[in-house]
Amino acid sequence: MEKIKRLGVLTSGGDAPGMNAAVRAVARTALSCGIDCIGIRRGWQGLINADFVQLTRASVGHLLSRGGTILYTARSEEFMTEAGREKAVTTCKMLGLDGVVAIGGDGTFRGALELSRLGVPVVGVPATIDNDVGCTNYTIGFDSACNTAIECIDKLRDTMQSHERCSVVEVMGRNAGFLALYVGTAVGATAVLVPEHKLNFEEDVIERIRASRLAGYTHFMIVVAEGAGKATDIGEKIHEALGIKPTITIIGHIQRGGAPTGRDRETATRMGYSAVMAFVEGRGNSIIATQEGGIVEIPIEEALTMKKHLQMDRYKIMEIMQFGSHE
């Protein structure tokens, strides 16, 4: 790979706390290596439309603590077409980009793979609150989203306990239960429903509420991953089975907002730095990932075939912390 003169950086898909920290790290690392850095606004669609801004050390200052993304983010149906991708390549040529750092999740990386096949080197940085990117142990934004959900549930518990009620709380996570299980364990939920665990409603929910009541508790907290069912449906089934009417809380997009935690700021900084150094050292077309506490690079095609499974030992720990195993 020839000497890198100019890199682009974009954020795509759902926003996640820490994306700004990653943009900052990419820009400052590039500039320290004598490389111009161009911010592509609104993801892959921005690359098609040549929607860009020159990034400087000053312009990315004070970003560590800011949630969201200063580059904005969007999903692009046009980029999924051959004509759209050709327009993106044309923009890269016009701007003189020697490569692109793409910050996002699996959808972002599938777009990165297609762009790389057209001759534009790309390095991906995983950022999604769902933590569901198969090639990496951790994705930027997960810790912040967990802490937001935990704070909301702690406050909800205070008022629900005052009224001796059952709460059903739906958290995000798309089709994965990483967020729900982490949060449920951290708040001491009566039950946690995740897509990876086949639900026996009577055993996993109703009997747990009964056991909790017999143990002297008068408030019951059920945490539901959005991919495991709707909180409203769960609440109705609890009402039918036990005669109590649960309160339903859907935390929603508040989990994506707010200042990133220290872990997300530090991880985003290391990943952003590593993405630029992959280009500087003559590599590209890879995903930056965390494995066993360290930063690694994995070829995009290989990375997109990798799967990550929920650690069911953590699910068992959560059960034991409540009333012990049913086995």
Residues 130, 132, 143, 264: which is the catalytic one? 130
Tokens 């150094």 identify what position? Answer: 277
Query: In a 3-state reduction of DSSP, which class is residue 229?
Result: coil
What is the rounded distance in angstroms from the CA atom of residue 263 to the CA atom of residue 81? Answer: 37
Residues with Cβ within 8 Å of residue 152, at least 6 apart in sequence: 169, 249, 251, 254
Q: Is 51 a catalytic residue?
A: no
Torsional sign, CA 65, 66, 68, 72:
negative
Distance of alpha carbon 192 from the chain centroid: 19
Question: CA angle at residue 74 from 71 to 76, to 5 degrees?
Answer: 130
- Within the chain, residue ranges assigned H as helices are 19-32, 43-49, 82-95, 106-117, 142-162, 178-187, 201, 207-214, 231-242, 262-280, 300-303, 312-322
Which residues are marked as active site? 130
